[in-house]
Structure formats: structure tokens, C-alpha cells
């Protein structure tokens, strides 16, 4: 019996325990019976609560509500939120929450959220149920204590929730929760993150609960806030344009790759995000977990706008802070670490640890923790008079927007940016920000780092810096990488040649004179050429476009090499474009840091090429280059250290006509020597750039005089009309201008010192490796030691027949200077028929010659017959119809002698010309032809007249000779056209297309009494014909009058 009683007692105990367990299960089922059918996506609507019920009374009479779960279970209006809490496994931790406030979305708000976001599945996936994450549900609990309706209506307030971006916070682990913001809207309603709050609270032992008309989403992260337009403080924070899946899915996402957090261009505060990424603190923007102490917890950003950042810092400074660490990542560790440290120094003044809210601080002065090194920031909170909202200052900077809550902190907008006192910029830092780290490395390796490291802040410098991409594209390898390697040597030399850099070794190989430089020396030269003396902004470049670089080598005579800038005119709002030696500046404005101005170039700047390579690129200078080669002076000139080239254009050579024909004679030693002197007279012995030429003013007429390689002096000066080349009067240098056929009044001006009489430069400052070149607009310099004589012009014309005839008839003295005694003696012995008897012999100072071409002489019948007889071809029948066939040789010779003398014009001295010393140049205006002017010839009594029938085109004919023969006979025509001409020292030589004809003989035209009789006959005949015509007219008038009807008595 005792055993049976013990067994029954055990059985009763088991049954009691089973009953207790069943009651517990039934209680749990009753809490969630509203959503027992999970498969129904559209729950049935509950009955509306009684509007007359007192919300402050307990929902169920006789029952004390202890926890928030009890409160949610007591009213059907909370069923959707309760069901979500159950599915997310939040019942047990929620039951533990005390001294808190719950904001409960209505059932319809949750349903609407699901419909809008397409999350109607009843299956729970981890910490998300139907699109609602557990962190989002916890966000509806305020952990700052029990809040009643009066707390909400007092104004804007920031509350700390029980949700965290790090993990789900339980009541016992509360701390560092995501903030939410309540305020009274313009309509008078209380808004929580922009969602209206129903002003009736439900209470339990754990705290109070308020219904809200929407489901609050987690606010954006600090990173997302900086990329968006931060809303104004009076508009609340309703919703952010971000998919809910991204919101919930990223609630606990961790970013392991820092590059994925690079801040892209976005809102007005994106520069702040880029700065934090540059400082290596991008982790705090996205709330990443487990990535270091600087990325955990909540943070406060005192975010400056992009505009404020731009106003406080220059372009180069901003680029360095935002991109310097990234650009220097693969460079020298010291440069990279310095860039990161500078970014952190700047950013540290705008970050606080923890979530600092002005509303939570309250009005007054507060000290808050900085972000690193135990720094402290001073925050002054005050109420703005205009809006009544809270504002203030942080470290003296005005706060424009306040208390913008983020998932991992709070953002305040500041309207200004301050410069940290311990942050100093130098050119090296700016170059790092401009992605010119290869240029930095080049200067460091060539021991030129002092130009950029800030060690000499007083030195004024202009840097012309190619980007890394430009240098890589140009050279094909990193400068300084294994510079002693043979492959690097070849790469640098090849790239220099291909890109016009004209390295020293390239020139040395081509010319065989300069020693071959090592790659390091070439890099040093190249680097020095990209560093200019002084600071040159755009305005300075407009005034003085030539920059003196630090490259001053022996091949320029120790003078600094020059860079030529070209500044285009501004168009509208566009900034002016500038280029250097053809390399474009890609920055809208130059970057200035201290006493250094930086231009960023799209390509490496070509160094000046050698002389031949530079001039041959211009077709107008090709003949000058060819003349250098023909005269054998090219190699000599290219090796002269420090020169100025005054380069004539092609037309200046071709317009010399016979002079150029002579100078370009192949195989003529005299012509080669004269051409060499002419070329060297255009090469000055030191570099003269255009900005070094003095300006002629009313008070100063200074002229810069420089000696040429030929030894003659050349003067240079400038006026508002341009730059001019003038002769040195001591040398009586002769300037040969454009076409020789000019009017006399034009050449009268040539003798003056006005601008019109000098050579003007059409293009200046063509940079050469050994100096500079300028282009003469027209004309060239014919130095005094280039003696152009008539025999030389005849050689250039190849007038062999005319020269032979002069020798045959003892007229060669006309080719010499008549002012010499020997020439006068020979001329006096052979002047029997040379000129009129009234012209004294000593009045002749020179001779101009009209020279028919050899072809024209071969067409002359008398010359053909004389030539036939000279060659003893007496039996030849080829020219049987020649009218001179039956003439004697003396008659033919006499005729040709007179014909030659007809083509010789003596020049008589008038005034100063007659006193010119022997060997001096006759005035040009005395040698050239003029329109309708007559000239005497060596044929007595015969003069020639010149006619200008077109511009600079002349014809010559016998003066006062009609084009007919009277009486009867055939028309007589004797004129020729000037084809080419040339000025010699003692006269001019004019090439004719045909030979002139001698005037008709006296027997061929009436003369003496015959002429009188002929004229009398002509007059009598005319008078008779006139009288007869008059008599006939009178008779006709009388006959008409007598036929009238009435006659007077």
C-alpha cells in the first residue's frame, strides 16, 4: 500500500507539471492568435477602437501591464507590430526593457510599408521579417527614459534609441544608440523623423507608448548624408531616396575594402567625405564594425559645404587634401605619410567622438571630445534670433544646420572652413595633389628638391609641370627607375627625339661635336628647363611671354634658355588658355602657393631644337637653310654657342634676281664666299630675345648694336609698330630690301633712318638650342664685304655673249669703277664714240648695262654672221638668207659695236654722289629705272626711255623715235622688256628679253632741205584742203538762202 501511495504521488506531480506547461503554451498562443495563419498576405481588418474610451485607463480592467509586450498584447491596434516583434525574436529582450518610451506604428502603417516595398512574404529571413529588420524595430524605442506628450511639444529634441548600427541592443546593453529627432511641425503636429505622432500615450510599468502614423526607417549613414542634400532643420527627416532592402541589408554590413567607400561626387557636402577617405577615416562614415577603434561607435561631423571648402582653400590645396594620399600611395613613404597626416590634421577639427546634439547639450558653452589625441572642441549653443532654432559656433565657425541625425552619428553643417595653424602647404604638396608625383621624383633624384620642398620660401619660381600620365605617355617608362640601365638610356634618348625634346646626346650624335650626356644629365637638363625664374601669372605672361628657365648651359653662352608662352584672349566666361612651347596648360587658372606659381601641362614641354631643325619647319625659311648648306656654313653656325639668327624669307632671296642668280652659282668660289659672308651677316654673336630690344620713345632712341659672325654690326630697336633691324652707320651697311624695281621716291626714303627704311621682323623668338631666331618680314642684309660687281652679275645671268662683245670692242672698262685712275685712263682711250662731247669724262661715276640674253643675241642676224665668220664656216649654207651675208666684216663689227654701246647707260655724278670714294656703293635711287625717264647711252645722240607698264615691270625703247618710217617704208619698232635686274656697286644690270635696234640711218628718213620740203608740202596740202572745204560750205549756204519764197528789195 505504501508503494502504491508513493507511485500515485509521483504521478500526480507529473500531471501537475504537465498542466502548468499546457497553461503556459495556451497563454503564449493567445498573445499571437491574430496572425496564426501566416500564409494570408492580407490580414482581415480589426474592429476600430471605441473613440470615447479613455486612453489613460488600462486596456484590460483588472490587469496590471508590466512590460511593453504586455502592452502590445492588450490592444488589437498593436497586433501587426507585436507580430513583427515575435517573428524577429525580440519578445524576451523587449520584456526586459524598463524606463523607456515606445513609438508604435499603426497596423495600417505596417501594411502600407509592406505593400510599397513588396515584402509580403511571411517567412522570416535572419534578422529581417517582411522587410522590417530588427534594428529598425528597436529604432522605435527611446532609451532616454519615460517621455510624455509634454516633452514632445516643447520643441525640437534629439533622442537616443535602443537600436545601433553595430548590433542589436538589449536593454541591459544600452548605449550608443541611433538618434531620432522629434519636433513640432508647421502644422502644429509632433513629428518623429518627419512622421506624425498621435498625441495619446499608453503606459505600462516599463514606460509609455505612442502611436505613430508610419514605420520609421533607419536614417542614412554619415557617408550617405554627405552625398545627399542635407535637409533643412525645419523640415524634419522623413524619408531618404534609398531602397529599403539597402537600408536593412546594410544595417550590419561591414566593409573590408576601403576603396569601396571612396566618396563619389554627390551633394553639397561631398568634399567632407572625400577628406575623411583621404585621411583613412572613411570607416566612420559607414559605421563599419570590427575595423579598428577609429571606426567604432557614433561620431559627429561638423560638415562644411563644398562651397565653403572652395572659398577657404585654393584648387591645389584642395586637391592635395582630397587626393594627395591616393596619388602618393606608390611613391616615397615619407611623402605619402605626410599627405595622410596633413589630411588628418585638417579633418580632425571637424569630427567629434560620440553623437553630439545641440538640442541635448542645451544653450551655453560646452567642451566636447575631439576625434584623436584627446583633443577638445569648444561648442557654443545659442538660439538663432531669426528662426528661433538652435545654432551656434564650433571652434569659432558658425553652425548653419544642426542635429541632422545619421545611422552612425549626427551631422551639423558649418558655413565656413578654418585653416589649422600647424598645416603648411608647399609646392611639393601641391604637385602631389595635382598627380605630378613623377615630376616630384625627378626633381628629388636630380637634387632639385629645394625648388619644391619649401626650404627656400623667398625664392620666386614658376613650375611648368607635366602630369604623370603625360610623362608616361611621352617617355614610356618611369623617370629615375634604373637610370643607369642601357635600356633606360635608349628609351630616354628615343623619346626625346620623337617628342621634340632634342636631348644633348641626340644633337651630339647628329653633329658629332657635343659630348654625349648620360641619362641623369639629360634628366637634369630637362628638369631645369621646366623651372622658370620669377612668378608669372596670366597677366604677366600677356605682358612678357618669355620665361627664363634655370637651364643655362654653355651652348647658349651661359644665357638662360627661354620658354615661350602663348595666352589666348578670353571668350565670355571661359578663362584664357595658355600654352608653353606648344604644351597646353590644363588648369583653368595657375596654382599659386607662396612664391611659386604652378602650371599643369598636358604633355612634356619640348626643349628647343637645334638651329637647322627649327628653321626647316617653316617653308618660308627653307631657302635660307639651303643657302647655309650651299655656302658650307651650316655646321659652323650650328656649333656656335649663343647666337641670334635673323632669317630672311624665300622671297627676300628670289627678289634679288641677278644677285641671287650669282650667289647661287654652283662651283663658283667667289659666289660661295660671298654667300657665306651674307649668311654669317644674319647670325649675331649672342642671343637677343625680343623683350631685350630697347624701345624707341620721344625721349630715347637707343639701339642695341650686336656684331655678326661676318664682322658687320647690326642694330635692333622696337617701336609701337614692331621691331626693326637697322645698319650700323659706321659700317655703312647696305640693306637690300624687296624688289629692286622701285620708284625713286621710295628709295629716297631708304636712305633715311625712319622705320620705312629698315628691315622689320615679322616673327620673333623662335627658340633654338643655341639661342633664338627672328624672321625678317622682307629683305635681307647685304654686308659691305660682299662686293657685288657688274661682272659677277653677268656671270649670274650667264651672259657670255655680251661679255665677249665687251671684250672684243675694248669696252670692259665699263665693268670697273670709273672713279679709279686706271679705269679713267682706259676709258679715255676708248671713248671716241662713247658719249656726247658735252659730257666730261670725269663726270661718269658708273655704268648701268642693258644686257640681252644669249638667246636674244643668237637671234640677231649681224651677230650670227659675225659668229659664223669667226668660226670660219664660210661655206655654210644654213643662213643664206641672212641680210648681212654680203656685208664686210668691218661693217658687221661696226654695227655690233654701236649696238653694244646702245645698251650701256653712263651714270653721272650729281651733288654728293660725285664725291663718293672709289669702292663705295652708289646710291640705289641713281641706279634703278623710273617711269617715263630718259637715259643717255654710249651711242652718241641716242637716248632711251623707260616705261613702267605694270607694277615693277619696265620696258625700254628709243626716245623720240616714231613707230613708222616716213615717207613710206615699213614701221620701225625698237623696244625690249626688262626680265631681271641686279644692283652692283658701280651700276645696275638689267636683263632684256630682246636686243634693242639701232635708230634708222639718216638716209632712211628725210633730213636737211628734204625735211623742210617735206614739212612745207604737208602744210600746203593741209591749207589747200581746208580752204576748199570752207569755200564749198559757203556756196551751199548761199544756194539755200536764194531759194526762199521772199527776197527783200
Could you read off the pLDDT of 846-857 as tens digits, one per residue?
Answer: 999 999 999 999
- DSSP readout, 865-900? HHHHHHTT-TT--TTTT-TTTTS-HHHHHHHHHHHH
pLDDT score recorded for residue 698? 78
Q: Rounded to two decimals, what is the model's pTM?
A: 0.71
Which candidate, 309, 343, 304, 305, places its Cα nearest to that of 324? Answer: 343
Residue 693 pLDDT greater than 70, yes or no: yes
pLDDT score recorded for residue 904? 95
Least confident of 446-460, 556-570, 944-958, 964-978: 964-978
Q: How confident is the model at residue 415 (pLDDT cuts 50, 70, 90)?
A: confident
pLDDT score recorded for residue 839? 52
* Domain 32-36+54-218, CATH homologous superfamily name and number: FAS1 domain (2.30.180.10)
Query: Which triple of cell numbers denotes residue 1034?
Result: 559757203
- Compute how many other C-beta atoms are within 10 angstroms of the C-beta atom of residue 171: 17
Which candidate, 202, 192, 136, 185, places its Cα nearest to that of 159? Answer: 192
For residue 411, the cross-strand partners are: 301, 404
3-state secondary structure at position 624: helix
Least confident of 221-225, 236-240, 376-380, 874-878: 236-240
Considering the domain delimited by 427-601, tell me its CATH architecture: Roll (2.30)
3-state secondary structure at position 230: coil
Least confident of 80-89, 92-101, 467-476, 976-985: 467-476
Residue range 732-736: mean pLDDT, rounded: 39
Residue 511 pLDDT greater than 80, yes or no: no
Residue range 407-418: mean pLDDT, rounded: 91
Residue 1030 pLDDT greater than 80, yes or no: yes
Residue range 543-564: mean pLDDT, rounded: 90
Q: Are 988 and 848 in contact (CB under 8 A)?
A: yes
Residue ranges per domain, the chain?
1-30, 32-36+54-218, 261-414, 427-601, 612-782, 790-1004
Least confident of 263-267, 889-893, 931-935, 997-1001: 263-267
Q: Is pLDDT larger for residue 265 or for residue 99?
A: 99
Considering the domain delimited by 612-782, tell me its CATH architecture: Roll (2.30)
pLDDT score recorded for residue 154? 84
pLDDT score recorded for residue 794? 94
Q: Is pLDDT larger for residue 946 or for residue 495?
A: 946
pLDDT tens string 751-807: 333 566 689 999 999 999 999 999 999 888 988 889 999 999 999 999 999 999 999
Characterize the bridge pairing of strands 943-950 and 409-414: unpaired
The helix or strand, by DSSP H or E, that contains position 728, with its residue range, turns out to be: none
The helix or strand, by DSSP H or E, that contains position 560, with its residue range, turns out to be: strand 560-567
Which candidate, 157, 109, 152, 136, places its Cα nearest to that of 405? Answer: 157
Starting from the edge strand earliest in sequence, which strands make up the sheet with 157-160, in order? 141-142, 100-105, 207-212, 195-204, 190-192, 179-184, 157-160
The helix or strand, by DSSP H or E, that contains position 198, with its residue range, turns out to be: strand 195-204
Residue 226 pLDDT greater than 80, yes or no: yes
For residue 191, the cross-strand partners are: 183, 196
Q: How far is CA 459 from CA 311, 434, 591, 600, in A?
A: 27, 21, 16, 20
pLDDT tens string 252-261: 333 333 333 3
3-state secondary structure at position 566: strand
Residue 926 pLDDT greater than 70, yes or no: yes
pLDDT score recorded for residue 879? 64
The helix or strand, by DSSP H or E, that contains position 768, with its residue range, turns out to be: strand 759-768
Least confident of 59-68, 127-136, 493-502, 600-609: 493-502
Q: Are 686 and 813 in contact (CB under 8 A)?
A: no
Q: How confident is the model at residue 973 (pLDDT cuts 50, 70, 90)?
A: confident
pLDDT score recorded for residue 432? 94
Least confident of 700-704, 900-904, 1012-1016: 1012-1016
Alpha-carbon gap, residue 738 to 993, rounded angstroms: 22
The 8-class DSSP code of residue 144 comes to S
Residue 35 pLDDT greater than 70, yes or no: no
pLDDT tens string 594-642: 999 999 999 988 788 999 999 999 999 999 999 999 999 999 999 999 9
Alpha-carbon gap, residue 364 to 220, rounded angstroms: 29
pLDDT score recorded for residue 231? 57
* Domain 261-414, CATH homologous superfamily name and number: FAS1 domain (2.30.180.10)
Q: How confident is the model at residue 571 (pLDDT cuts 50, 70, 90)?
A: low
Q: Are 764 and 723 in contact (CB under 8 A)?
A: yes
pLDDT score recorded for residue 878? 63
Residue 713 pLDDT greater than 50, yes or no: yes
3-state secondary structure at position 735: strand
Query: Which triple of cell numbers denotes residue 1025?
Result: 584742203
Query: Which triple of cell numbers denotes residue 714?
Result: 647690326
pLDDT score recorded for residue 117? 76
Per the prediction, the chain carries an average pLDDT of 78
pLDDT score recorded for residue 758? 85
CA angle 726, 731, 735 (to 5 degrees): 40
Residue 238 pLDDT greater than 50, yes or no: no
Amino acid at each position: 500500500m505504501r508503494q502504491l501511495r508513493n507511485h500515485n504521488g509521483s504521478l500526480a506531480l507529473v500531471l501537475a507539471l504537465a498542466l502548468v506547461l499546457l497553461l503556459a503554451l495556451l497563454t503564449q498562443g493567445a498573445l499571437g492568435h491574430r496572425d496564426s495563419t501566416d500564409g494570408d498576405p492580407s490580414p482581415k481588418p480589426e474592429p476600430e477602437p471605441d473613440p470615447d474610451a479613455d486612453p489613460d485607463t488600462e486596456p484590460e480592467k483588472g490587469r496590471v501591464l508590466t512590460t511593453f509586450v504586455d502592452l502590445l498584447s492588450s490592444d488589437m491596434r498593436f497586433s501587426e507590430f507585436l507580430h513583427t516583434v515575435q517573428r524577429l525574436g525580440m519578445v524576451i529582450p523587449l520584456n526586459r526593457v524598463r524606463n523607456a518610451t515606445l513609438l508604435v506604428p499603426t497596423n495600417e502603417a505596417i501594411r502600407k510599408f509592406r505593400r510599397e516595398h513588396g515584402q509580403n512574404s511571411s517567412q522570416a529571413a535572419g534578422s529581417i521579417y517582411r522587410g522590417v529588420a530588427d534594428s529598425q524595430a528597436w529604432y522605435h524605442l527611446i532609451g532616454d527614459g519615460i517621455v510624455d506628450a509634454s516633452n514632445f511639444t516643447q520643441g525640437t529634441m534629439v533622442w537616443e534609441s535602443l537600436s545601433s548600427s553595430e548590433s542589436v541592443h538589449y536593454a541591459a546593453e544600452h548605449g550608443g544608440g541611433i538618434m531620432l529627432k522629434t519636433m513640432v511641425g508647421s502644422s502644429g503636429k509632433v513629428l518623429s523623423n518627419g512622421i506624425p505622432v498621435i498625441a495619446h500615450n499608453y503606459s505600462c510599468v516599463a514606460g509609455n507608448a505612442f502611436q505613430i502614423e508610419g514605420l520609421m526607417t533607419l536614417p542614412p549613414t554619415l557617408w550617405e548624408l554627405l552625398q545627399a542634400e542635407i535637409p533643412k532643420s525645419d523640415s524634419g527627416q522623413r524619408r531618404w531616396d534609398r531602397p529599403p532592402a539597402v537600408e536593412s541589408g546594410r544595417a550590419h554590413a561591414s566593409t573590408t575594402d576601403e576603396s569601396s567607400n571612396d566618396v563619389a561626387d554627390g551633394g553639397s557636402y561631398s568634399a567632407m567625405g572625400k577628406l575623411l577617405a583621404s585621411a583613412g577615416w572613411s570607416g566612420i562614415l559607414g559605421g563599419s564594425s570590427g575595423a579598428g577603434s577609429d571606426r567604432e561607435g557614433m561620431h559627429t561631423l561638423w560638415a562644411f559645404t563644398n562651397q565653403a571648402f572652395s572659398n577657404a582653400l585654393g584648387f591645389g590645396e584642395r586637391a592635395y587634401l582630397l587626393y594627395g594620399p591616393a596619388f602618393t600611395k606608390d611613391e616615397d613613404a615619407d611623402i605619402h605619410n605626410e599627405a595622410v597626416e596633413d589630411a588628418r590634421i585638417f579633418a580632425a577639427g571637424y569630427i567629434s567622438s560620440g553623437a553630439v546634439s545641440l538640442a541635448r547639450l542645451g544653450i551655453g558653452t560646452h567642451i566636447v571630445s575631439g576625434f584623436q589625441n584627446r583633443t577638445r572642441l569648444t561648442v557654443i549653443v545659442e538660439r538663432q534670433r531669426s528662426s528661433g532654432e538652435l545654432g551656434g559656433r564650433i571652434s569659432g565657425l558658425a553652425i548653419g544646420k544642426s542635429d541632422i541625425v545619421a545611422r552612425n552619428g549626427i551631422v551639423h553643417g558649418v558655413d565656413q572652413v578654418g585653416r589649422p595653424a600647424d598645416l603648411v602647404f608647399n609646392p611639393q604638396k601641391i604637385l602631389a595633389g595635382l598627380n605630378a608625383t613623377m615630376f616630384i621624383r625627378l626633381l628629388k633624384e636630380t637634387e632639385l628638391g629645394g625648388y619644391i620642398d619649401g626650404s627656400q620660401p623667398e625664392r620666386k619660381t614658376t613650375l611648368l609641370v607635366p602630369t604623370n600620365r603625360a610623362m608616361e605617355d611621352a617617355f614610356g617608362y618611369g623617370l629615375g627607375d634604373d637610370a643607369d640601365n642601357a635600356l633606360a638610356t635608349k628609351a630616354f634618348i628615343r623619346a626625346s627625339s620623337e617628342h621634340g625634346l632634342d636631348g644633348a646626346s641626340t644633337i651630339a650624335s647628329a653633329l658629332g661635336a657635343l659630348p654625349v650626356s648620360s641619362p641623369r644629365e639629360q634628366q637634369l637638363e630637362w628638369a631645369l628647363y621646366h623651372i622658370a625664374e620669377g612668378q608669372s601669372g596670366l597677366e604677366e605672361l600677356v605682358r612678357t611671354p618669355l620665361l627664363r628657365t634655370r637651364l643655362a648651359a654653355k651652348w647658349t653662352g651661359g644665357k638662360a634658355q627661354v620658354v615661350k608662352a602663348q595666352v589666348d584672349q578670353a571668350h565670355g566666361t571661359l578663362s584664357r588658355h595658355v600654352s608653353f612651347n606648344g604644351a597646353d596648360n590644363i588648369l583653368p587658372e595657375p596654382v599659386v602657393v607662396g612664391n611659386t606659381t604652378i602650371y599643369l601641362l598636358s604633355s612634356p614641354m619640348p626643349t628647343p631644337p637645334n638651329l637647322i631643325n627649327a628653321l626647316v619647319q617653316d617653308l618660308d625659311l627653307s631657302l635660307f637653310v639651303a643657302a647655309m648648306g650651299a655656302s658650307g656654313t651650316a655646321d659652323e653656325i650650328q656649333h656656335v654657342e649663343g647666337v641670334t639668327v635673323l632669317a630672311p624669307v624665300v622671297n627676300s632671296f628670289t627678289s634679288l634676281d641677278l644677285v641671287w642668280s650669282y650667289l647661287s652659282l654652283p662651283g663658283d668660289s667667289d659666289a660661295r664666299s660671298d654667300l657665306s659672308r651674307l649668311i654669317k651677316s644674319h647670325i649675331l654673336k649672342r642671343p637677343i630675345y625680343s623683350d631685350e630690344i630697347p624701345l624707341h620713345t620721344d625721349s630715347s632712341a637707343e639701339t642695341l648694336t650686336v656684331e655678326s659672325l661676318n664682322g658687320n654690326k647690326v642694330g635692333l630697336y622696337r617701336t609701337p609698330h614692331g621691331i626693326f633691324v637697322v645698319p650700323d652707320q659706321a659700317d655703312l651697311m647696305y640693306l637690300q630690301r624687296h624688289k629692286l624695281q622701285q620708284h625713286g621716291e621710295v628709295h629716297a626714303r631708304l636712305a633715311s633712318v625712319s622705320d620705312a627704311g629698315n628691315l622689320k621682323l615679322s616673327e620673333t623668338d623662335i627658340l633654338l638650342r643655341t639661342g633664338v631666331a627672328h624672321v625678317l618680314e622682307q629683305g635681307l642684309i647685304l654686308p659691305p664685304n660682299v662686293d657685288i660687281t657688274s661682272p659677277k652679275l653677268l656671270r649670274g645671268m650667264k651672259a657670255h655673249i655680251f661679255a665677249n662683245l665687251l671684250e672684243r670692242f675694248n669696252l670692259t672698262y665699263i665693268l670697273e669703277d670709273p672713279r679709279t685712275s686706271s679705269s679713267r685712263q682706259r676709258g679715255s682711250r676708248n671713248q671716241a664714240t662713247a658719249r656726247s662731247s658735252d659730257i666730261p669724262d670725269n663726270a661718269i661715276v658708273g655704268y648701268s648695262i642693258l644686257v640681252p640674253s644669249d638667246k636674244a643675241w643668237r637671234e640677231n642676224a649681224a651677230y650670227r654672221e659675225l659668229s659664223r665668220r669667226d668660226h670660219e664656216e664660210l661655206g655654210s649654207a644654213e643662213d643664206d638668207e641672212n641680210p648681212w651675208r654680203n656685208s664686210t666684216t668691218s661693217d658687221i663689227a661696226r654695227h655690233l659695236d654701236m649696238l653694244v654701246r646702245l645698251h650701256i647707260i653712263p651714270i653721272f655724278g650729281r651733288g654728293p654722289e660725285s664725291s663718293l670714294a672709289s669702292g663705295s656703293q652708289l646710291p640705289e635711287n641713281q641706279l634703278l629705272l623710273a617711269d617715263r625717264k630718259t637715259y643717255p647711252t654710249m651711242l652718241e645722240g641716242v637716248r632711251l626711255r623707260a616705261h613702267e607698264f605694270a607694277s615693277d615691270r619696265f620696258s625700254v625703247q628709243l626716245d623720240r623715235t616714231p613707230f613708222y618710217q616716213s615717207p613710206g617704208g615699213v614701221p620701225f619698232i625698237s623696244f625690249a622688256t626688262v626680265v631681271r635686274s641686279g644692283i652692283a656697286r658701280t651700276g645696275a644690270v638689267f636683263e632684256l628679253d630682246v636686243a634693242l635696234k639701232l635708230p634708222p640711218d639718216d638716209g632712211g628718213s628725210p633730213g636737211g632741205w628734204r625735211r623742210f620740203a617735206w614739212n612745207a608740202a604737208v602744210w600746203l596740202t593741209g591749207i589747200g584742203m581746208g580752204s576748199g572745204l570752207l569755200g564749198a560750205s559757203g556756196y551751199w549756204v548761199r544756194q539755200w538762202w536764194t531759194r526762199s519764197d521772199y527776197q527783200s528789195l
